[in-house]
Structure 1
Amino acid sequence: MLRIFSWMKTKIRHFTDDKIIPYTFALSDDPMLFRDLLKTNKMYQEGLKLEGKIPGFRLSIGRSYLVFIALWHLILLPSSALLHTVLAKIDCHLLILMAILFTGMFFATYAIFKEYLIDTVALKIIKNAWENHFPHFDYTLHAKEVAKIYSEALEKEVPHKNMQLYILDRLVEMKK
């Protein structure tokens, strides 16, 4: 059973990466600047909201609503078809309350869906920029360290022209 869920999760992730993200986002081909990478990585590691703060991508709200509505109907239509006989016998006042509940759930889950997409694209952009600026350091091992070092550099008011050297020196010191 766990194997089936793992397989489904992999398929959903591939579908999201291959179909949904290219349809809902406009991604820039230009590489991210080192300064932007540091700032974005710090915000991502701290769990801050990233929408509108990362250069290199733009979310198409209309397309994201279209995708979300299609996904919402993939869940809602089969379940309402299965429960049609029960729903047909329910009092109309209860159905109005259920409609209000489902409308609220729609917009709440859209906000979650949108944040998930933005976080997924942000991580993808950060990892691509990481490959460009830190090719000798693994992202999963050193991303938090770089965010911490960047915060320290900001506190010490290290000039931007010396920032890359400062961070690389500190990473090499920590690696020893």
Structure 2
Amino acid sequence: MNKILELVDKYIVPFVFARNNEPLLFRELLKANKMYDDGLNLEGKIPGTRVRIGRNILVFLVIWHVILLPLSALFHRELAKIDCHLLIIAAVIFTGFFFGTYSIFKAWLVDRVSLKIIKEAWHNHYPHFAYEKHHQQVSRLYGKALDKELPAKEIQLYILDHMIEEE
């Protein structure tokens, strides 16, 4: 499974996503981290990152056919004997399944890229705090800072002070 994820990161992600090399600003990191932790859709929400829809569909079609063509070749004789009415119903079901899995694939890819960008920005802004250990704490503190309506200049200090206190 790790091999597949490495291939996705190495070939599919750069092909499907357009990115600039600018790191996220501190405020953008906090917003993206909070949205990611809250389970919200990050497509179009991370600055400098854009999904190329045509390329995403192309990659999905290739993956779909790599899976589907061997299966259809394997079960060709059984499929040829089925009544045409059942095949029409099966085609409708497979079409729905196709579009459903495309949505899942696209959301998974966006989440994967978003997490990668958030971790890169985390390393720039919080080099002394591990992402896996502190991301939920920072998300919670950022939410509190927004509720208190702190100015943008004070949010970083507020979060760092509370992170150090809680350590």
Pairwise TM-score range, normalised by the shorter structure: over 0.9
Secondary structure of 1:52's counterpart equals coil
Q: TM-score scaled to structure 2, two decimals?
A: 0.99
**Residues of 2 paired with 1:65 and 1:107: CA distance?**
10
* Overall identity of the aligned pairs, in %: 58
Q: For structure 2, list consecutive stretches of 5 or more residues without a partner in the other structure.
A: none
**Residues of 1 paired with 2:122 and 2:107: CA distance?**
22
**Residues of 2 paired with 1:16 and 1:27: CA distance?**
16
Q: For residue 34 of structure 1, what is the aligned residue in structure 2? A: 26
Deviations 1:66-106 (A, max 9, x none): 00000000110000000000000000111111111111100
Range that drifts further, 49-58 or 20-29: 49-58
Give the one of 39, 45, 48 matched to 1:53.
45
Q: For residue 57 of structure 2, what is the aligned residue in structure 1? A: 65
Q: TM-score scaled to structure 1, two decimals?
A: 0.94
Q: For residue 106 of structure 2, what is the aligned residue in structure 1? A: 114
**Residues of 2 paired with 1:85 and 1:65: CA distance?**
30
**Alignment of 1:169 onto 2:161:** yes
AA partner of residue 94 (structure 1): L
**Residues of 1 paired with 2:17 and 2:155: CA distance?**
31
Q: For residue 3 of structure 1, what is the aligned residue in structure 2? A: none
**Alignment of 1:132 onto 2:124:** yes
Q: For residue 138 of structure 2, what is the aligned residue in structure 1? A: 146
Q: For structure 1, list consecutive stretches of 5 or more residues without a partner in the other structure.
A: 1-8
Secondary structure of 1:73's counterpart equals helix
**Residues of 2 paired with 1:149 and 1:131: CA distance?**
18
Deviation at 1:48, TM superposition (A): 0.7
**Residues of 2 paired with 1:95 and 1:80: CA distance?**
13
Give the one of 74, 87, 95 matched to 1:103.
95
Secondary structure of 2:50's counterpart equals strand
Deviation at 1:56, TM superposition (A): 2.0
Query: Which structure 2 residues correspond to residues 2-21 of structure 1 after superposition, within 5 A?
Result: 9-21=1-13
Secondary structure of 1:130's counterpart equals helix
Q: C-alpha root-mean-square deviation of aligned residues, in Å?
A: 0.6
